[in-house]
Amino acid sequence: MFMKKVIIIIVALTVVLVGVRAYQYNSRKSEKAKTIKIGAIFDQTGDVASYGEDELKSVKLAVEEINGAGGINGRKIELIPENAPALDVRQNISAFNKLVDVDGVVAIIGPNWDDAVSALIPLAEKAKIPVVSPDPDGGQRTSKDVAHEYYFSLWYPQDVEAEKLADFLSSREVKKIDILRNLDPFSQKEYELIKGTTAKYHIALVSDIQVVDSGVKDFRSQIIKLKADKVDAVFVNFQNPEAKCPALKQLGDLAFDKIIIGESSTETISCKDLLEGTFYSFPNATKKSQDLNARFVKKYGVAPKTPAVPNAYDATIMIADALRGGNLTGTDIKDYLKNLKTFDGALGPSISFDSQNNLKLTASDFVIKTIKNGNIQIVP
């Protein structure tokens, strides 16, 4: 009799335990089903990890803030990040396919740079999954023959940046310039735009000095060449600080005393001591971008190393706003972004996309900046 009672108790406890476990499993499963999955593809280990790491941090910060404020109509965003070096096209493709086919994301933020973007555009079109990129631009901006309904770029318009720089150079009575740059799609587009806009201002481009190997850190032969050209200014176009900082140091070591122009990465590059006197064009900082920068520093303990932190943050908020309005499929999100007129974000108070799904800014949104005593200053 006693053994019978013991067996009954054991069976009862087992049933209860199984029930509890089943409830916990179903609860977790139910909670998981309530999340909305967004993918992120960023370079964490490759040539432009300095961009990818901070952009992913910015996306994570945005997701944390969104979820902390109640999520999307009560549902949390589940961020699924993938590491894909910017120059490894196959790994970017694998990351995209995994996020879409395995994870079932409704949108993707990233990737870094144009090689990866060019490979992902047709995949995004086929899968009908919007891809919103914080920093790529390159050949996509003006390629009218490239159909990309589902690809959106939040990078600063290079054509407007180049126009602002050419106007500044003209005001300084610059007549001849050289360009020192990497040979990649982004730098190639920058070169074409600088060449075209400076010609409008009757500024001669003497030499386009290309550095084919992105790992090169000795630029003395190239600098000797541009000194021999007797130009009034040089446009140094290296996005990667591991190339740009040595180039700037060697310009100083070889006593290049003409105007040095940089591109947008000058805003956040680490070697500010080597940038003294460098000029560049960049969108004027908004109050929201300054507040974002402060929150970034508070959370991560360091300042951003890439100028695309507000771009990545705004990409996340835009997608969240679309979801909040009931746009839960890739096509719905794409339509929302295409019809966006006055998004108030870190990039500006009335952000929208042009007909090619690129960030729309005008010359009035840009200012000329310089580095003086290690600090960024706006040139009057």
User: Is it the case that residue 294 has pLDDT exceeding 50?
Assistant: yes
Query: Where is pLDDT greater, at 148 or 326?
Result: 326
- Parse the chain into domains and list their residue ranges: 37-155+308-340, 158-283+366-378
Token code pair at residue 56:
């992913």
Query: Where is pLDDT greater, at 374 or 57?
Result: 57
Tell me: cis bond preceding 111? Omega within 30 of 0 counts.
yes
Token code pair at residue 57:
């941090």
Q: Mind listing the pLDDT tens digit for each residue in 222-276?
A: 999 999 999 999 999 987 778 889 999 999 999 999 999 998 888 988 888 898 9
CB 364 within 8 A of CB 284: no
Whole-number Cα distances in Å, 187 to 19, 24, 167, 257, 299? 61, 53, 20, 24, 32
Tokens 């040089």 label which residue? 234
Token code pair at residue 256:
């290049």
CB 323 within 8 A of CB 286: no
Going by pLDDT thresholds of 50, 70 and 90, the confidence category of residue 97 is very high
User: Is it the case that residue 183 has pLDDT exceeding 70?
Assistant: yes
Percent of the chain beyond pLDDT 70? Answer: 88
Q: Residue 210 region, left (φ>0) first, then alpha (ψ -120 to 50), else beta?
A: beta
Q: What is the pLDDT of residue 30?
A: 44
Q: What is the pLDDT of residue 139?
A: 44
Rounded Cα–Cα distance for residues 193 and 163 (Å) = 8
- The beta strand positions in 212-294, using DSSP E, are 233-237, 259-262, 279-283
Q: What is the pLDDT of residue 187?
A: 83
Rounded Cα–Cα distance for residues 40 and 163 (Å) = 32
Q: What is the pLDDT of residue 4?
A: 52
Rounded Cα–Cα distance for residues 131 and 79 (Å) = 14
User: Is it the case that residue 11 has pLDDT exceeding 60?
Assistant: no
Token code pair at residue 169:
């150079």
Rounded Cα–Cα distance for residues 263 and 280 (Å) = 6
CATH architecture group of domain 158-283+366-378: 3-Layer(aba) Sandwich (3.40)
Q: Classify domain 37-155+308-340 by CATH number.
A: 3.40.50.2300
CB 77 within 8 A of CB 320: yes
Question: How far does Cα 140 stand from its chain's mean position?
Answer: 15
Q: What is the pLDDT of residue 133?
A: 96
Q: What is the mean pLDDT of the chain?
A: 88
Q: Mind listing the pLDDT tens digit for each residue in 123-153?
A: 999 999 999 999 886 444 444 455 689 999 9
Query: Residues 197-200: contacts with CB within 8 Å, 24+ apart?
Result: 197/159, 197/162, 197/163, 197/165, 197/166, 198/166, 198/169, 200/166
Token code pair at residue 279:
């000029």
Q: Do domains 37-155+308-340 and 158-283+366-378 have the same CATH topology?
A: yes
Helix (H) or strand (E) holding 182: strand 176-182
